[in-house]
Amino acid sequence: MLQKPRNRGRPNTQAERERDWARGAAEEAPSTSRGAGGSQEARGTSSQGGRRAEASPEVGPRSQQQLELKVAELVQFLLIKDQKKIPIKRTDIVKHVIGDYKDIFPDLLKLAAERLEYVFGYKLVELEPKSNTYILINTLEPVEEDAEVRGDQGTPTTGLLMIVLGLIFMKGNTIKETEVWDFLRRLGVYPTKKHLVFGDPKKLITEEFVRQRYLEYRRIPHTDPVDYEFQWGPRTNLETSKMKVLKFVAKVHNQDPKDWPAQYCEALADEEARARPETGGPTPSS
């Protein structure tokens, strides 16, 4: 279950530091006690309750320490929330972390994004313009040497995801669900059978990947029996590209991407579109 980052045990030094901050700032705006509640020994539900029962905000000059604390909390919140890879809603951020600092939310977010990039190499991007949901993506391109440890956490779903993404792209950017299962059956992945690695593959593909916004899952109208189709989701376009997926497929085939001219042209066009500056990389908007 996802728990609020402030209740987590931090390395001692940081906890002590924050306790000091909280103590030092205790005389100031009561909003700081939000942080104080989190860094005290009594964590868990008690401090969550304390947070909710917070006193009304005092909008006054906030010290640098308070801001620092807020940014740190925001960074932790984003990191923890990203564990499930479900896009983080702006409303959640405001509700759980920002609170009274709503007026400087854009600045806090910007600072947090900078910190994430500088310390962790993660970029905070908005999923779609004006969607007010954010995801973290890696700024570091994967390197050969990291292959062993990459994607090590949790179930290795990226492989399955890549295969499905490849299928979708190579078949013209949209594919029927029945076709997906016909393909996966050959790999021993069935919609109704429990899988050794993936557990419930149907749930994984049609629900989890969709929730994580890697895939779009739409019902095809007027079909009987009901059939659905898959397309790429917004997250896929941020984390990978048509060219990369084509190269993955090509590598598996041990061939050159150019062996599929139509797809290659499409991927090339996509690359050019990305390279254009104004439509370029999405940035966190406030």
Partner 1 sequence: MQLAECQLSAPVAGMSDEKGSLRGGVEKGEEPAGTIAGSVFSVKRVEDEEEPMKVEVAVGADGCPDDLSCQEADIDPYLLGLADDEEKCRKIRRQYRQLIYSVQQNRDDIVNMASDTLTEALEEANVLFDGVSRTREAALDAQFLVLASDLGKEKAKQLNCDMSFFNQVAFCDFLFIFVGLNWMEDDERDELSGCDDNIALSFWETVQKEATSWIVQAETFHFIFGSFKSKPSAPKPRLEHQKKAHKMEENGAMPTKLRKLDLSNNQEATEKEVERILGLLQTYFRKYPDTPVSYFEFVIDPNSFSRTVENIFYVSFIIRDGFARIRLDQDRLPILEPININQVGEGNDPSSHGRRQGVISLSLQDWKNIVATFEISEAMITNSY
Interface of this chain with partner 1, residues 6 to 65, rule: CB under 8 A: 7-9, 15
Q: In the complex, what is the shortest distance from the CB of residue 197 to partner 1, in angstroms, rounded to a whole number? A: 5
Q: Is 199 in the site for partner 1 (CB under 8 A)?
A: no
Q: Which is nearer to partner 1, 1 or 53 (CB)?
A: 1
- Told to check if 160 binds partner 1 by CB under 8 A, we report yes
CB contact at 8 A, 169 and 263: yes
CB 234 within 8 A of CB 223: no
209 binds partner 1 (CB under 8 A): no
Give me the phi and psi of 34, to 5 degrees please: -55, -45
Among the listed ranges 64-72, 87-95, 242-250, 270-278, the one in contact with partner 1 (CB under 8 A) is 242-250
Among 46, 83, 285, 286, binds partner 1 (CB under 8 A): 83
Q: Does 188 bind partner 1 (CB under 8 A)?
A: yes
Q: Does 221 bind partner 1 (CB under 8 A)?
A: yes
To partner 1, the closest distance from the beta carbon of 67 in angstroms equals 22
Contacts 24+ apart (CB under 8 A), 201-206: 201/160, 204/157, 204/160, 205/160, 205/164, 205/180, 206/177
DSSP string, 184-218: HHTTT--SSS-BTTTBSHHHIIIIIHHHTTSEEEE
- Smallest separation, CB 65 to partner 1 (Å): 23
